[in-house]
Amino acid sequence: MRNTALLTVLALVGCGTSEQGGDETTAPREAPAALPAAAMPQPTDADSLAALTPSPREVIAAMKAAGLTVAISDLVPDRELSTAGMSNNLAAVWTGVLAADAILTGADSGQDEFVQRLKAVESGMGQLGAGAGLMATLTDAITRVENGTASREDFLREFEEVLAMKVPGEGWGPEDDSGILVQAGSWLAGVNLVSKAIVVAQKEGAAQVLLRHGSVVDHFLHYVRVEGPDSAPKSGLETLNQSLLEMGVITRKTELLTLADAERIHALTEAVFASLVGEVPTEPSSGE
């Protein structure tokens, strides 16, 4: 189960520095080829994993605490709900994105839309080969939502706990080798939402508070890179790899983070989402 503290996690300031500054929307960035080995820690146990992957509802709480009052439902777009044709790596990330969308909009979305998102997550977990017990839990929970026998608040809490039940280094089922990529997708959707809210509200101070997450970037880079900073990214995750590298650079800036930084982080997450559904090349645009 989770024991995270999102405000602490998102306020983490990485120990590295960046020589890049200025307006990130007008000047191309050149992301480093790799982070130092010391910045690529080996994940240890389930508690440390949970501490680095805040839940979507904790993201909402952090946004409110930072003074962002933009309606969440207005920020989460309609997305492709199917993972059909995706490799397990891509399906895992996209399933995490869809799970975050369901949770983030759970309090405001209509019943049909909510259930559609939940069933898309169920389908994605099934594609990953999730165990029979987990699938039965998901199916039962979704059925209770459809029948109106479970409150959304209770369901969302249970849903987050199910998705957080992940042992580092293992898959969701005996044939799954996607690691923690479901959590990576969920976290990425949260970062996308936060950065977009900052830009929409033009609240520059919130960027400094909510987008300092270099340690989280390092954590997920370990899995994307398979075995360490010198390894090639897992198949299909080249855009995620490049975006995480640049996000690490941005969030470790010695200067205060700006609206331009929030815009760039939003663009990097959008590039990952688009690459997962085959809409853009694998290399994220640096903006002009």
Average pLDDT over residues 134-150: 87
Q: Where are the alpha helices (DSSP H) in 24-179?
A: 46-52, 56-65, 72-75, 88-104, 111-127, 132-147, 152-164
Instruction: Between 32 and 196, name the one with better pLDDT.
Output: 196
pLDDT value at position 51? 54
Listed by start position, the domains of the chain span 6-70+85-276
How does residue 12 score in pLDDT terms, banded at 50, 70 and 90? Answer: very low
- The percent of residues above 90 in pLDDT, for the chain, comes to 29
Average pLDDT, the chain: 77
In this prediction, residue 158 has a pLDDT band, given cuts at 50, 70 and 90, of confident
pLDDT band, very low/low/confident/very high, at 163 (cuts 50, 70, 90): confident
**pLDDT given at position 86:** 92
Question: Looking at the whole model, is its pTM more than 0.85?
Answer: no
Q: At what angle do helices 181-201 and 214-224 cross, to 10 degrees?
A: 140
Higher pLDDT residue, 170 or 156? Answer: 156
| The pLDDT value given to residue 106 | 85
List of residues 6+ apart from 156 with CB closer than 8 A: 57, 103, 106, 107
Q: How confident is the model at residue 228 (pLDDT cuts 50, 70, 90)?
A: low
At residue 105 the predicted structure's pLDDT band, cuts being 50, 70 and 90, is: confident
Around Cβ 139, how many Cβ atoms within 10 Å? 14
Q: Given a cut of 90, is residue 68 above it in pLDDT? A: no
pLDDT at 171 over 80: no
Among 20, 8, 42, which Cα is nearest to 227's?
A: 42
Contact between 187 and 54 under an 8 Å Cβ cutoff? The reply is yes
CB atoms within 10 A of CB 74: 12
